[in-house]
C-alpha cells in the first residue's frame, strides 16, 4: 500500500510539472517583447551603410585673386553619360549664399565635367572654362575658377577746380575707325554713375579709339581734343586721364589772411561774401560755398557769368575775426572760354 501511494505521488508531481511547463511556454509564446526578434537585429551590411551622395564646392575669384563682387556665374555639372545639372551662384542649385561661392549638394558619385557657361556682371569667362570633378559619397570636391574682370576704359571731364562736369559727348570706334557707339555722360554704355566720370567695359579684347565730340553745355574744351587709341585687355583698366573744360564765361578769386602753408602758398580763409557786377546791369551775391560758388573749397570762389565784360568784385562781408579786405574791390576781365582771375583778397586779423 505504501509503495503504491508513493508511485502515485511521483506521477502526480511529474504531471504537475508538465502542466506548469506548458503554461510557462504559452506565456512566453504570447509575450514577444520578452525575447529577441531576429528580424530586428541589424545586419553587418546595414551597420556599414553611410552617405550615398557627394558635394562639389566651387570658389570664384578675379585675376587678382579677389572675391567676385557680383553673383550670377552659371555652371553645368555633367556626369558621364547623364544629363547636365545647372547651378547658378546665389541662384538655382547653389546652397551657399556667399557671392563667388557655389555649393552643389546631392550629387551621385562619379566623374563630372564642370563648365562655367555664363560669367557674372563685370567679368568674363575663365580660360579654360571647364574642369573635371570626381564626386565621392560623403565628401566635398573643391574646384576653383578665375573670372578676369572685363576690359575697362575710364576717364573724366572736369573744370579747373576740379569738379566733375556732366554732359560731354564721345564716340567709341574700332581700330579701323568704324563707329561703335556715340554717347553722353551716364548713357547706358557708361557704367560709372558719377557726373563727369566715364567707364566703358569691353566684352571683346582689341584695339579701339575714343573721340571727344562735344563738351558739356555751357563749357568749352581747354584745347582741341584729339581721338586717342587704346588696347582693351581683360583683367586690366586703361585710364585716359581727364579732359579739361572751362565755363564759357567765369571768374574766380581767393581769400587769405596772408599766412602761408607748408607749400609756401597763401592759406585760404573763409567764409566771406562778395558782390559781383558788370556795366550792363548784371549783379549777383556770392557766398563762400553757397549756391553761386562752384568752387566748394573754403576761401576759394568760382562763379559762372552771362557774357564777356569787365566785372567788379567787392567783398561785402569779411571772415569772422578779420578786417575788411584792402582793397575790398577788384576788376576782373572775362572773355569767352578764359576764366577771369581776380587774384587774392587779403583780410588782416583784427
- CATH code: domain of residue 120: 2.60.40.10
Considering the domain architecture, whether residues 116 and 184 belong to the same structural domain is answered as no
Give the span between the Cα atoms of 316 and 337, in whole angstroms. 28
Contact 236, 152 (CB under 8 A): yes
Task: Examine the fold and report which residue of 91, 117, 146 is the final residue of a domain before the chain moves on.
Answer: 146
Considering the domain architecture, whether residues 158 and 240 belong to the same structural domain is answered as yes
Residue 300 lies in a domain: yes
Using CA atoms in the order 274, 278, 283, 288, what is the torsion angle rounded to 10 degrees?
-20
pLDDT in tens, 154-211: 999 999 999 999 999 999 999 999 999 999 999 999 999 999 999 999 999 999 999 9
Residue 31 lies in a domain: no
In this predicted structure, the answer to whether residue 17 has a pLDDT above a threshold of 90 is no
* Eight-class DSSP state of 218: T
Residue 19 lies in a domain: no
Residue 205 lies in a domain: yes
Residue 29 lies in a domain: no
Would you say how long the chain is, in residues? 350
Considering the domain architecture, whether residues 274 and 212 belong to the same structural domain is answered as no
Considering the domain architecture, whether residues 169 and 222 belong to the same structural domain is answered as yes
Looking at the structure of the chain, the number of domains it has is 3
Range of 35-39, 43-47, 346-350 with top mean pLDDT:
346-350
Give the span between the Cα atoms of 162 and 285, in whole angstroms. 23
Confidence of residue 228 (pLDDT cuts 50, 70, 90): very high
Concatenated DSSP letters of 175-195: TTS-EEEEEETTSTT----ST
Residue 49 has a pLDDT of: 61
- Bridge-based pairing of strands 273-277 and 283-287 is antiparallel
Concatenated DSSP letters of 276-331: EE-TTS-EEEEETTSTT----STTEEEEE-SSSEEEEEEEEEPPTTBPPPSS-EEE
Contact 133, 145 (CB under 8 A): no
pLDDT in tens, 280-330: 999 999 999 999 999 999 999 999 999 999 999 999 999 999 999 999 999
SS3 letters for 96-148? CCCCCEEEEEEECCEEEEEEEEECCCCECCCCCCEEEEEECCCCEEEEEEECC
List CB contacts of 114: < 8 A, sequence separation 6 or more.
Answer: 56, 58, 75, 76, 77, 78, 130, 131, 132, 133, 143
Q: Which domain holds residue 220?
A: 151-246
Contact 275, 313 (CB under 8 A): yes
Task: Examine the fold and report which residue of 213, 246, 279 is the final residue of a domain before the chain moves on.
Answer: 246
Locate 116 and state its grid cell: 562655367
Considering the domain architecture, whether residues 258 and 231 belong to the same structural domain is answered as no
Task: Examine the fold and report which residue of 246, 279, 307 is the final residue of a domain before the chain moves on.
Answer: 246
Considering the domain architecture, whether residues 128 and 165 belong to the same structural domain is answered as no
Residue 42 lies in a domain: no
Residue 119 has a pLDDT of: 98
In this predicted structure, the answer to whether residue 48 has a pLDDT above a threshold of 70 is no
Considering the domain architecture, whether residues 267 and 197 belong to the same structural domain is answered as no
Residue 221 lies in a domain: yes
Residue 263 has a pLDDT of: 87
Distance of alpha carbon 100 from its chain centroid, rounded?
A: 12
Mean pLDDT of the chain: 89
* CA distance to 57, 194, 279, 284, per residue, from 304 (Å): 59, 22, 17, 10
Residue 288 lies in a domain: yes
Amino acid at each position: 500500500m505504501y509503495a503504491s501511494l508513493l508511485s502515485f505521488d511521483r506521477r502526480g508531481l511529474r504531471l504537475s510539472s508538465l502542466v506548469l511547463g506548458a503554461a510557462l511556454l504559452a506565456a512566453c509564446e504570447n509575450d514577444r517583447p520578452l525575447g529577441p526578434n531576429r528580424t530586428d537585429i541589424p545586419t553587418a551590411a546595414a551597420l556599414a551603410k553611410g552617405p550615398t551622395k557627394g558635394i562639389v564646392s566651387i570658389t570664384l575669384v578675379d585675376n587678382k585673386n579677389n572675391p567676385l563682387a557680383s553673383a550670377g556665374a552659371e555652371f553645368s555639372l555633367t556626369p558621364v553619360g547623364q544629363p547636365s545639372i545647372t547651378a547658378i551662384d546665389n541662384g538655382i542649385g547653389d546652397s551657399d549664399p556667399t557671392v563667388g561661392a557655389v555649393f552643389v549638394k546631392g550629387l551621385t558619385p562619379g566623374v563630372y565635367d564642370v563648365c562655367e557657361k555664363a560669367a557674372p556682371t563685370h567679368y568674363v569667362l575663365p580660360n579654360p572654362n571647364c574642369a573635371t570633378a570626381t564626386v565621392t559619397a560623403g565628401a566635398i570636391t573643391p574646384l576653383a575658377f578665375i573670372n578676369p574682370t572685363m576690359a575697362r576704359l575710364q576717364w573724366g571731364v572736369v573744370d579747373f577746380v576740379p569738379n566733375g562736369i556732366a554732359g560731354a559727348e564721345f564716340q567709341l570706334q574700332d581700330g579701323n575707325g568704324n563707329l561703335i557707339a556715340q554717347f553722353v555722360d551716364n548713357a547706358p554704355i557708361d557704367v560709372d554713375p558719377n557726373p563727369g566720370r566715364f567707364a566703358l567695359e569691353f566684352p571683346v579684347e582689341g584695339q579701339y579709339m575714343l573721340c571727344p565730340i562735344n563738351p558739356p553745355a555751357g563749357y568749352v574744351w581747354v584745347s582741341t581734343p584729339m581721338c586717342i587709341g587704346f588696347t582693351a585687355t581683360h583683367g586690366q583698366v586703361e585710364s585716359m586721364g581727364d579732359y579739361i573744360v572751362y565755363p564759357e564765361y567765369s571768374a574766380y578769386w581767393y581769400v587769405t589772411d596772408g599766412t602761408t602753408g607748408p607749400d609756401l602758398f597763401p592759406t585760404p580763409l573763409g567764409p566771406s561774401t562778395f558782390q559781383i557786377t558788370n556795366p550792363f546791369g548784371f549783379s549777383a551775391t556770392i557766398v563762400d560755398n553757397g549756391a553761386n560758388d562752384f568752387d566748394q573749397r573754403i576761401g576759394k570762389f568760382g562763379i559762372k557769368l552771362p557774357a564777356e565784360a569787365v566785372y567788379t568784385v567787392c567783398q561785402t562781408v569779411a571772415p569772422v575775426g578779420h578786417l575788411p579786405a584792402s582793397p575790398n574791390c577788384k576788376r576782373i576781365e572775362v572773355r569767352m572760354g578764359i576764366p577771369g582771375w581776380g587774384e587774392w583778397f587779403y583780410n588782416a586779423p583784427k
